[in-house]
Structure 1
Amino acid sequence: MTASGTVFVTGATGFIGSRLIPRLLQRGHTVRALVRRPEHAGHLRALGVQLHPGDVTRPDGLAEGMHGADWLLHLANHYSLHERDEGIYTRVNVEGNRHVMQAALDAGVAKVVHVSSGVSYGVSPDQPLREDSRVGPHPNAYWRTKHAGDEVIQAFGVQGLPVVTVYPGAVVGAGDPNATGQWIRRLVRQRQVLWAFEGSGFTFVHVDDVAESIVRAAERENNAGERYLIGREYLTNRAFVELVAELSGRPRPPVLLPDRLAHTSAAFLGHLEQWTGLPPLLGFTGNSARHLAAGFRFGSHKAENELGLRYMPVRQAIAEDIATFFPGR
């Protein structure tokens, strides 16, 4: 693509998308965003973004919205660690990918950047992960459908769609509404009395670095078919909890559960949620426990070498999120 062009973005109103859109506009691109409810996306319209009504779970109109676009940046996915209806993961993360990629192929989009996740690799036997690592078992539906959705994307690549995939680590930053941000909020507000799986952990990454990686992957020429792991700073769950305590000035949760007891307790709380219909206590279910116990770890040599990516400290990202809880402090 030339210095500026037309970019179609899914997931533009999400945590990463909200950081991505300004970068695209600052580079002079015309941005179209797929939005389910245009009336709730006035902030994008105010920035000059063209809103295209639609939903990745419904193929109608997707190709029309992408017509004339140079790039498709596909961020839309369903990210949570617990759903009463787990079919939502397949509808968005798998079938949604199929609808969006078919539309891109039909519209003749010149390049696609697909945003996946480190969880797509599952509990890989190759540790730390590399871009060419083998895929291992997936501990819950979110992890499983992220990988299944990637397989859909790769099939379209075989058909000739020029796709690049980025695999962010555990994304963190100010205003994070997702699982990591929810964990931080429970810790800071002292609603997390139990914690577990202290020896497992994740490679974390600042949300702004993820947004930058997407743009750089799109801008790099002749990289169709490439994959990039995004993030380099690994923290065990213990180190993460202790860092949140340090930065917030709040004490660490008082009760550390042994791993086996944590799995048993999580399964019980999950059943309790099913019986009562109430939200899972402490956000702790069998799915979230398996997520925390599995974790993932990787470096970022390829993204740093090929995309010129440099990372902000994870400490900064966590501090920025905590600062949103204490306005004026």
Structure 2
Amino acid sequence: MRIFIAGGTGVIGRQLVPLLVRQGHDVVVGTRRPDHLPALRDAGADGAVMDVFDAESVAAAVAGASPEVVVHQLTSLAGGDPAANARIRAEGTRNLVGAAKRAGVRRIVAQSISWAYEPGPGPAAEDTPLDIGAPAPRSVTVGGVRALESAVAEIDEYVILRYGTFYGPGTWYAPGGFVAGALAKGTVAANDAVSSFVHVEDAAAAVPLALGWPSGAVNIVDDEPAPAHLWVPVLAGVLGAPAPARSEGGAAWERGAANAKARSLGWLPGHPTWRTGF
């Protein structure tokens, strides 16, 4: 299959590109940086330079690739700026969907998140509404997710991968990453807020499967949503950082997500729990 990946040099892309190439797919990766092209060629993929905020640039890259499927892995996570990430989800996705339509692409697989659901008891399933009434600053993140998912749904066949919190190589949870630094400073709360995690290898492994899934959203999370007072001490021990004392609190939307649908579609996480995955 001929696949165009937008965001193929990020944390998931670095896992995904070689995986798709090994499976025999022809892969073209859109990147804003020409210096990424040699590494993409070494991985067995072609590259196309584009600016995701320039609609014509994106259209030219997608048209030149002539893909059967577009895979959307665009994020702006490195700086930890929710507004920057929301912008790429809204404007970047709009440009990518427009380019896909112009190129006659009938299927798109897109990265979203599993913590934009409205408050409620227990882990959220895919039919739980998004938290569109959230106040600022959460409204920025949820608004970006809503814009992304609405745009993607304009394509004839679409799969929205609502990922859990990434951990593994290159993430905030890796040794030397943002969370390790925050633990060292004592600014991570071991409270009741529930998270759902997913290892980056398992996140990438969902994409080839999604090439054949029916349209809709799918939570890609591990088997064990957990409150911070459980997972924070485990991560701290792995990273050699001091574990914070248990505290109370957590927002009502911090509820985790359920992965029953993904498992029913054939996705089986290689790291079914953060306990061993960390």
Residue in 2 that maps onto 1:282: none
Rounded Cα–Cα distance in structure 2 between residues aligned with 1:179 and 1:48: 27
Matches within 5 A, 1:216-235: 216-220=209-213, 223=214, 225-231=215-221, 232-235=223-226
1:11 aligns with 2:7: yes
SS state at 1:195 partner: coil
Partner residue of 1:134?
A: 129
Which position in structure 2 is the counterpart of 1:20?
16
Equivalent in 287, 301, 310 of residue 269 of structure 2: 310
| Backbone CA RMSD of aligned residues | 2.6
Cα distance between partner residues in 1 of 2:51 and 2:122? 36
- The 1-side partners of 2:234 and 2:212 are apart by 35
- TM-score normalised to structure 1 length: 0.74
Measured in 2, the distance between the counterparts of 1:108 and 1:126 equals 42
CA deviation vs aligned residue, 1:48-91 (integer Å, no higher than 9, x gap)? 211101022111132332232111110102236853xx653443
Contact 2:5–2:71 (Cα < 8 Å) also in 1? yes
The Cα offsets for residues 210-269 of structure 1, whole Å up to 9 and x where unpaired, read as 10111101134xx1x22111113212111121101332343213x66665xxxxxxxxxx
Residue in 1 that maps onto 2:69: 71
Aligned to 1:239: 230
Percent of residue pairs bearing the same amino acid type: 25
Change (3 A) 1:294 1:57: same
TM-score for both structures, normalised by structure 2: 0.86
SS in 1 for 2:15: helix
Q: Secondary structure at the match of 1:73?
A: strand
Distance 1:211 1:45, change over 3 A: same
Deviations 1:96-126 (A, max 9, x none): 11110011011011311011111332x3336
Which residue type is aligned with residue 146 of structure 1? V
1:215 aligns with 2:211: no
Give yes or no for contact 1:69–1:109 (8 Å, CA) kept in 2.
yes
Query: Which protein has the larger Cα radius of gyration, Structure 1 or Structure 2?
Result: 1
1:29-54 deviation line (CA, Å, top 9, x unaligned) = 11100100121343212122111010
CA contact (8 A) 1:74 1:113 kept: yes
**Which amino acid is the alignment partner of residue 236 of structure 1?**
P
Query: In 2 relative to 1, CA 80–36 (structure 1 residues): closer, same or farther, beyond 3 Å?
Result: closer
Which of the pair is proportionally richer in helix? 1
Aligned residues: 269
Alpha carbons of 1:39 and 1:310: their partners in 2 closer, same or farther (altered >3 Å)?
closer
CA contact (8 A) 1:203 1:233 kept: yes
Distance verdict in 2 for CA 1:143–1:311, change over 3 Å: farther
